[in-house]
Amino acid sequence: MREKIARRAEQEIESGFYVNLGIGMPTLVANYIQSNKQVVLQSENGLLGIGPYPSKEEVDPDLINAGKETVTAIKGASYFDSAESFGMIRGGHVDIAILGGMEVSKSGDLANWMIPGKMIKGMGGAMDLVHGARKIIVIMDHVSKNGDPKIVNECSLPLTGKNVVNRIITDRAVIDVTEKGLKLIEVFEGYTIEDIQQSTEPDLIIEDVNVY
């Protein structure tokens, strides 16, 4: 299911884009970028030009992404310090950021950096990305392990940013955040429009929905 979401998220990336992939599921998107697209992946720990995950023979323990996973670098990749990396992000030079999410609200608020009471390594770069990147795509499961909606009226978890999400891609649907509310764009095979509404807390705008 994670690969299904990653493949759909890849469709959001256009040739010529500079892209940041968040920790976790978003890093899988790198494996599905079509060869005919000229795309440069940026990691906030200081790498511009991330390639696919390495094979055993290609693993370099010093070459990692922001999630501490070993990666490869494409021809022409560049390395730099964290300050310069965040200068790229804050300066609006990243075309699209694909991030994971714990909750997204009906107004596009995102909570994705911590669960109260859980040990975390730090907030990472998500707070900068949601305000610096030109477009924010959130990919996540549609409901929690308990079956509760993750697309909610208001986030209950600590916020990463307010009114920052443009599009949500889940294992069930694609939903846009608009000024009028959440608009259902696509429903994935095996689900109906009614299924999506029942598993989504806010009321959805339903017009010309594509069913995959």
Catalytic residues: 44
Residue 61, judged by CB atoms within 10 A of its CB (0-12, 13-18, 19+), counts as exposed
Taking the CB of residue 45, how many other CB atoms lie within 10 A of it? 17
Residue 147, C-beta contacts closer than 8 angstroms, at least 6 positions apart: none
Closest CA relative to residue 64, chosen from 96, 23, 113: 23
Tokens of 187: 């429903």
Distance CA 14, CA 81 (A): 27
Alpha-helical segments (H) within the chain: 2-10, 82-90, 126-132, 193-198
